[in-house]
A and B are shown apart, each in its own frame.
Chain A
Amino acid sequence: MAVKQLKEKVGQVLEKYQRDKSALIDILHDTQSEIGYLPKEALEEVGQGLGVPLSRVYSVATFFKAFSLKPRGRHLINVCLGTACHVRGADKVLEQMEKELGIKTGANTPDLKFTLETVRCVGACALGPMVIIGEDYHGEMTPEKVSEVLKNYS
C-alpha cells in the first residue's frame, strides 16, 4: 500500500474516533482491519494523529495479542486452544495444520494465502476442537479433516 493511501485510511479511522487518545486500542483494531496489519508507518501516523508518543502506540500494539506488526495472509486461521478444545485434542489439530501448511504457528504461508495462529477460546465449546478461518467456524475438527477444510479457501 502506498504511503499516501495508508495515511488516508488511518486518517479516516482517527476521525471516526474523534482523535480520542483513550480509543487507541479501537483505533488500532480498525486500522488493522483496513490495512491487514500494522506497518510502522501506520503506527507513526496514529501516534502523530493522537498526539501520543510512538513508544506508547508501539507498546500497546505489541502488548495485545490481537495486533500484528507483520503482514498477514489472506485467510487468518485460528486454532482454538481453549481448555474445552484442549481436552478434546486441539493440539493434534494444530500439529496437522502446521504440517499441512508447512509453517509454524504465527507464520504466513509463502504465498500469503494463510496465516496460522491460535486463540484461547471463542466460546463455541460444544463443537470443540474449533478452527476459525476468517469468519467461518469449523467445529468438531480432527487432524483428518484439516486438508479438506483448507481446500475451501483460495
Chain B
Amino acid sequence: MAKLKSPGELEALRSSILKKRDPDKPCITVCNGTGCQAYGSKSIMAAFQDEVKKQNLGAKVDVKAIGCPGFCERGTLVVIKPKDIFYQRVRVKDVPEILSETIGKGNVVNRLLYTDRTTNVKVTREGEVPFYKRQMRLIIGNNGLIDPTSIDDYLAIGGYTALAKALKMSPEQIIDEVKKSGLRGRGGAGFPTGNKWETTRKAHGDTKYVICNADEGDPGAFMDRSLVEGNPHSVLEGMIIGAYAIGSHEGYIYVRNEYPLAVRHMRIAIEQAEAYGLLGENILGSGFSFNIKIKRGGGAFVCGESTALMASLEGRVGEPRAKYIHTSEQGLWGKPSNLNNVETWANVPLIINRGGDWYAKIGTKGSKGTKIFALVGNISNTGLVEVPMGTTLREIVFDIGGGIPKGRKFKAVQTGGPSGGMIPESLLDLPVDFDELTRAGSMMGSGGMIVMDDKTCMVDMARYYTTFLEGESCGKCLPCREGLRQMKYILDGITEGRGKEGDIGLLEELSATLIDASLCALGNTAPNPVMSTIRHFRDEYEAHIKEKKCPAGVCTFEAVKVK
C-alpha cells in the first residue's frame, strides 16, 4: 500500500473500501475480547469459518472477529449484521445451527436470544437489549462494528476523518475545541484536557512528548483494555491529533503486560497506520511528522501515576517524584510531556468531528461527555457500560446492571479503584460525575464499579484494598510505606478478632497523615476505602471490635479464644 499523501487520497481510499463492501451481505461478528476469549470465542470463530466452508456459504456470509462490545456477562456474543440479530452464550455446538437456520433459511434461533428479565420477553435485536438500550455508546459502540486488526474497517466507519480535519485547523483552534468540549481526563484525576494540552504546547523546548497511559492497574476495571483491544485506531487518531496540537513528534503508549491481546492489536494498528502514512513522516502531506512506540509495563500499580510512568518509560524503577514542576513542563527525560489516558484519547476524534459545543451538551455542568464504567462484582450484568456523565448510580446498577443476583440485597458500590471509596445504598441516587463522587468520599478513578451484596463485609473490603495498596506502595516516601503497613496491621487485627477500642480513631489518624504527607496520589488517596467504610459502615467496625462478630459472616474469628 502506498502512503496517502493528502486528505483527498484518504477519502478516495475510503470510497474504494466502501465500494467493495456490500452493506446487505450478512456478517457474523464474534466478540474476540479477552472476556469472550475466556469463554472460548477463538474456537467459536474457527468453528464458524470451518462450517461456512462445509455448508458452502462463503458467498452468502462474512465472519468477523470484533472487539468487546461490553456485555461480558452473556459471552460469547455473536451478532449477525445487518439485521443485528443478537445471540448470547453461544458455544461451539451452536455454530452449525446458526449458519443453517439464520444464514441459510433466515430463521432466528430462539434459544440463543436474550431474555429480558423484567418482562420475560425474548429480545432479537442487539440494540433492544435493555443492557445496551439505556446506554449512550459513543466511544465503545464502535468496538462492535470493526475488526480491530483491520485499518480498512476503521476507515469504513469514518476513521481518521477527524485527523484530516484537524490537520487543516491550527493547533490553537484544536486546543480551543477541546477546551470548549469540557473534556476532563478519564484516568481519574479529571484534569481539563484542553488546558493540559495548552500548557504543554506553551512549555519551553523543541522536543515534546505525547504519552498514552494504558497501564490500567485498577483491579476490576477493563474499559481501557477493551478500547485498545477493540478499537486501537481511535486511540492512535486521538494521539496524532493531540501531538499536532501540542507540537510533539514522538509518542509513547505504555501498556500493561497483563494485556497481551491489547499489546498485539496496538502493534498491528501502528504498523497499519504507518503503512498508510497516517503515522510517520509528513502525515497526509501536511508536513507534520509523528511516531509512536509501545512500551510494556512490568506489573506495578504505581506506574499509573504520571511521574512513575515516565520514570518507567525511561527504563528506571517506577517511582514517582514530587510534582512541584508539572510533567507538562518537565516530564519524560525532562522535556514537556502530555500524558492522557486511553479513554481520553479515544474521545478526541469525536470532539473534532462533532465539535466542542456538541460534546459539551452531553453530561453535567462540571463533567462533560460520556464515561465508560466496568460494572463488576455481585451484579447480574457484568460488563462495560457507557453512559452520559450525571447518570445516577441506581440507573447504572439496577436498570443497566440488572441489580444483584441470587436474590440478595445491594450493600455498596465501590468506585474509583482500590483507592476509591465505598458508596452505600442511601447515596444510590447520586448523579455520577467527577465532583459528585469526590463529594461522596469516593472518586471517579478510571471507572471501575464494584458492586457488593449483603454478604460482603465492609471491614474485610477495607482490609483487602489496604493490603493491595500496601503491596503496591513503591516505598519511596515514609507516610505511604509505613502508614499503609500499620493500617493493614490494624485491619488484620479487627478482621481476625483482635480489634481494640481506639482502633477506629487510630485508623482515622493514620489516614489523615497519609492524605497530607504522601508524595503521590497513591498515598494521598489510599485511605479512601478505610475512611469511606468508617463513614458509612461504622457499625460493622464496631461489631467486629466490640462483639467480635462479622455481620456479613465473612470474617472468622477462629484465633480468638471465646471467653
Chain A contact residues, CB within 8 Å of chain B: 21-26, 28-29, 52, 56, 59-60, 63-67, 81-88, 119-128, 130, 135, 137-139
Among A25, A60, A66, A123, the residue within 8 A (CB) of B222 is: A123
Q: Is the CB of A82 within 8 A of B220?
A: yes
Q: Is the CB of B298 within 8 A of A126?
A: no
Interface of chain B residues 197 through 254 with chain A (CB within 8 A): 216-222, 225-226
Q: Is the CB of A25 within 8 A of B220?
A: no
Q: Is the CB of A83 within 8 A of B220?
A: yes
The yes or no answer to B299 lying at the interface (CB within 8 A) is: yes
- Counted as pairs of residues, one from A and one from B, with CB atoms less than 8 Å apart, the total is 133
Distance to closest chain B CB from A58 (angstroms)? 10
Bound together, the chains give a CA A87 to CA B554 distance in angstroms of: 10
Q: Is the CB of A59 within 8 A of B317?
A: yes
Chain B residues, Cβ within 8 Å of A66:
257, 297-299
For A28, the closest partner residue in chain B by CB is: B298
Q: Is the CB of A65 within 8 A of B299?
A: yes
For B383, the closest partner residue in chain A by CB is: A126
Bound together, the chains give a CA A138 to CA B40 distance in angstroms of: 10
Q: Is the CB of B222 within 8 A of A121?
A: yes
The yes or no answer to B357 lying at the interface (CB within 8 A) is: no
Q: Is the CB of A124 within 8 A of B374?
A: no
The yes or no answer to B305 lying at the interface (CB within 8 A) is: no
Among A25, A82, A83, A125, the residue within 8 A (CB) of B72 is: A125
Chain B residues, Cβ within 8 Å of A28:
298
Q: Is the CB of A83 within 8 A of B318?
A: no
Q: Is the CB of B299 within 8 A of A124?
A: no
For B294, the closest partner residue in chain A by CB is: A26
Bound together, the chains give a CA A125 to CA B374 distance in angstroms of: 9
Distance to closest chain B CB from A121 (angstroms)? 4
Given A26-B296, A83-B376, A87-B456: A122 touches B448 (CB 8 Å cut-off) = no
Complex A-B: 9 CB contacts under 8 Å: A22-B315, A64-B298, A64-B300, A81-B219, A83-B220, A121-B219, A121-B220, A121-B221, A127-B38
Q: Is the CB of A67 within 8 A of B468?
A: no
Q: Is the CB of B219 within 8 A of A82?
A: yes
* Most-contacted residue by chain A among B219, B225, B300, B301 (CB, 10 A): B219
Bound together, the chains give a CA A26 to CA B374 distance in angstroms of: 28
Distance to closest chain A CB from B512 (angstroms)? 25
Chain B residues, Cβ within 8 Å of A124:
34-35, 38, 72, 222
Given contacts A119-B299, A125-B374, 12 further A-B contacts (CB under 8 A): A24-B316, A60-B317, A64-B318, A66-B298, A83-B219, A83-B448, A83-B450, A84-B382, A87-B461, A119-B258, A123-B216, A123-B222
Q: Count contacts on B: residues with CB < 8 A to the other chain.
A: 52
Q: Is the CB of B296 within 8 A of A63?
A: no
* Most-contacted residue by chain A among B72, B258, B314 (CB, 10 A): B258
Distance to closest chain B CB from A138 (angstroms)? 8
The yes or no answer to B142 lying at the interface (CB within 8 A) is: no
Given A64-B300, A122-B258: A84 touches B219 (CB 8 Å cut-off) = yes
Chain B residues, Cβ within 8 Å of A21:
315
Q: Is the CB of B377 within 8 A of A63?
A: no
Interface of chain B residues 474 through 512 with chain A (CB within 8 A): 474
B75-102 interface mask toward A, CB cutoff 8 Å, 1 = contact, 0 = none?
Answer: 1000000000000000000000000000
The yes or no answer to B525 lying at the interface (CB within 8 A) is: no
Given A125-B72, A139-B39: A120 touches B298 (CB 8 Å cut-off) = no
Q: Is the CB of A60 within 8 A of B316?
A: yes
Bound together, the chains give a CA A126 to CA B34 distance in angstroms of: 11
Given A126-B73, A137-B37: A56 touches B299 (CB 8 Å cut-off) = no
Q: Is the CB of A120 within 8 A of B376?
A: no
The yes or no answer to B452 lying at the interface (CB within 8 A) is: yes
Distance to closest chain A CB from B172 (angstroms)? 32
Bound together, the chains give a CA A60 to CA B311 distance in angstroms of: 11
Q: Is the CB of B34 within 8 A of A87?
A: no
Cβ-closest 7 pairs across A and B: A64-B298, A123-B222, A82-B219, A126-B72, A24-B315, A137-B38, A121-B219
Among A64, A65, A83, A126, the residue within 8 A (CB) of B35 is: A126
Q: Is the CB of A83 within 8 A of B222?
A: no
Distance to closest chain B CB from A28 (angstroms)? 7
Bound together, the chains give a CA A87 to CA B316 distance in angstroms of: 35
Bound together, the chains give a CA A82 to CA B218 distance in angstroms of: 8
Given A125-B72, A126-B73: A83 touches B377 (CB 8 Å cut-off) = yes
Bound together, the chains give a CA A128 to CA B464 distance in angstroms of: 17
B44-74 interface mask toward A, CB cutoff 8 Å, 1 = contact, 0 = none?
Answer: 0000000000000000000000000000110
For A84, the closest partner residue in chain B by CB is: B376
Q: Is the CB of B225 within 8 A of A25?
A: no
For A57, the closest partner residue in chain B by CB is: B315
Interface of chain B residues 432 through 479 with chain A (CB within 8 A): 448, 450, 452, 456, 461, 464-465, 468, 474
Given A125-B222, A125-B374: A60 touches B38 (CB 8 Å cut-off) = no
Among B72, B299, B313, B450, the residue within 8 A (CB) of A64 is: B299
The yes or no answer to B524 lying at the interface (CB within 8 A) is: no
For A24, the closest partner residue in chain B by CB is: B315
Bound together, the chains give a CA A12 to CA B158 distance in angstroms of: 41
Chain A residues, Cβ within 8 Å of B257:
29, 66
Q: Is the CB of B296 within 8 A of A29?
A: yes
Given A22-B314, A122-B258, A127-B39: A63 touches B219 (CB 8 Å cut-off) = no
Distance to closest chain A CB from B526 (angstroms)? 15
For A128, the closest partner residue in chain B by CB is: B376
B13-42 interface mask toward A, CB cutoff 8 Å, 1 = contact, 0 = none?
Answer: 000000000000000000000110111000
